[in-house]
Amino acid sequence: MARTIPDITEEQKAALQAFRKELLEENIITEEGDTLGTQYDHVLLRFLRARKFNIPNAKTMIKNCLEWRKTVNGVGIDELFRRIDPYDYPEREVVFKNWPIWYHGTDKIERPVNIQSLGDIDVPALYKVISPDKFWETIIVTAEAAMREILAGCSYSAGKVIESILVIVDLKGFSLSKFWQMRNLIRDSFQVSQDYMPETMGLLVVINAPYGFSSIWSVVKPWLSKETQEKVHIFGSDYAPFLLELVDADVLPQAFGGKCTCPSGCQLSNLGPWMEGRKERRERWIRGEIANPGLNLEDKLKEEEKNRLSRTVAVASRVSGSSYSVGINED
């Protein structure tokens, strides 16, 4: 299978090859791959980068990740993803109202834009309609969708590997009391992201940070790796110019200083290249098949190369046939 390797040094490329070889020899991964995408080099690179290209440490990290994927919540991530469609489950409307997390298009370097309106969160109201365990499962499958669907869809659309997400966290209406309601969920979400989905957050932009946010940040900061901390930018109400440096005005919702006003509301628009063909992929996932968006970049490039060769052969055949016919006519 063709594999697309992002720009890396020769030394890093050698580490990647050695990493894959050891993982295969120790039966940690297979040539056929899995729903994590270990058949693709850019996925393995995320684990190497997260551990500064230390192969033993990266190997431990990916082993722990694969074990978590098999066992999370007693059934494993693939079974959870079959049971819960992150875009359509019975409690979704109420969950969305009380914990709004949504994707809206891509930024100027084609990363998906994730928006989290934490000021609208109401955990007590949420737990009246969905159990804490079930809600945690929806968080997990939403994170899995980012890996399995959204980044893959953006890669396919861009024609290059898109590895990370731009996250915008809106704290308008947020308070210390709300933070204490959701503290454990935030901590656990960061842990899942850093340990099992490494290197997928490209930038975290906090906007409308309230007075006293420094107290909240002092609690959150130790949960983040040093590398993740360096990706965080915090603003009060003066965030719009920075966001517009990252996201085109036509894509950025009007509520955040852009011009976009989706007819159904930006929060519910599901705007993004990952939605194409999703219904068919969902049916394949339910059957237990690997179906990274029809949208897996390496598969796309492989198919394009196959089509290019087919066109070349067809043109050569037509040219050959035409010359032969002319020869007969000239006789």
> What is the identity of the amino acid at 50?
A
Within this chain, do residues 106 and 62 fall inside the same structural domain, yes or no? no
Instruction: Quote the DSSP letter at residue 30.
Output: -
CATH code of the domain covering residue 272: 3.40.525.10
Is pLDDT above 90 for 280? no
Question: Domain count of the chain?
Answer: 2
Select from 140, 43, 152, 157 the least CA-distant residue to 101: 140
CA quadruple 317, 320, 326, 327: dihedral sign: negative
Provide Rg for the chain, Cα atoms: 23
Whether residue 254 is contained in a domain is answered as yes
Q: Which of 266, 286, 306 is the last residue of a domain?
A: 286
Within this chain, do residues 160 and 83 fall inside the same structural domain, yes or no? yes
Q: Provide the pLDDT for residue 286.
A: 78
Within this chain, do residues 143 and 229 fall inside the same structural domain, yes or no? yes
State the chain's maximal CA–CA distance in angstroms.
94
Is pLDDT above 80 for 48? yes
Within this chain, do residues 114 and 231 fall inside the same structural domain, yes or no? yes
Q: Provide the pLDDT for residue 309.
A: 63
Contact present, 145 and 199 (Cβ < 8 Å):
no
Is pLDDT above 90 for 303? no
What is the per-residue pLDDT across 124-177, written as a single tens digit (0 to 9) for each? Answer: 999 999 999 999 999 999 999 999 889 988 988 898 899 999 999 999 999 999
Is pLDDT above 80 for 60? yes
Within this chain, do residues 84 and 45 fall inside the same structural domain, yes or no? no
CA quadruple 30, 35, 37, 39: dihedral sign: positive
Between CA 80 and CA 75 the distance in angstroms is: 7
Give the mean model confidence (pLDDT) for residues 32-56. 94
Is pLDDT above 50 for 178? yes
Within this chain, do residues 50 and 84 fall inside the same structural domain, yes or no? no
11-15, 93-97, 293-297: lowest mean pLDDT where?
Answer: 293-297
Within this chain, do residues 19 and 42 fall inside the same structural domain, yes or no? yes
Within this chain, do residues 136 and 220 fall inside the same structural domain, yes or no? yes
CATH code of the domain covering residue 53: 1.10.8.20
Within this chain, do residues 175 and 107 fall inside the same structural domain, yes or no? yes
Within this chain, do residues 160 and 238 fall inside the same structural domain, yes or no? yes
Contact present, 140 and 152 (Cβ < 8 Å):
no
Give the pLDDT band (50/70/90) at residue 327: very low
Is pLDDT above 80 for 185? yes
Q: Which of 72, 104, 120 is the last residue of a domain?
A: 72
Within this chain, do residues 119 and 247 fall inside the same structural domain, yes or no? yes
Between CA 258 and CA 260 the distance in angstroms is: 6
Give the CA distances from residue 179 to residues 171, 220, 224, in Å, rounded to whole numbers and listed in that order.
10, 10, 16
Domain housing 244: 78-286
Within this chain, do residues 139 and 46 fall inside the same structural domain, yes or no? no
- Enter the pTM of the model: 0.84
Whether residue 42 is contained in a domain is answered as yes
Instruction: Quote the DSSP letter at residue 266.
Output: G
Is pLDDT above 90 for 267? no
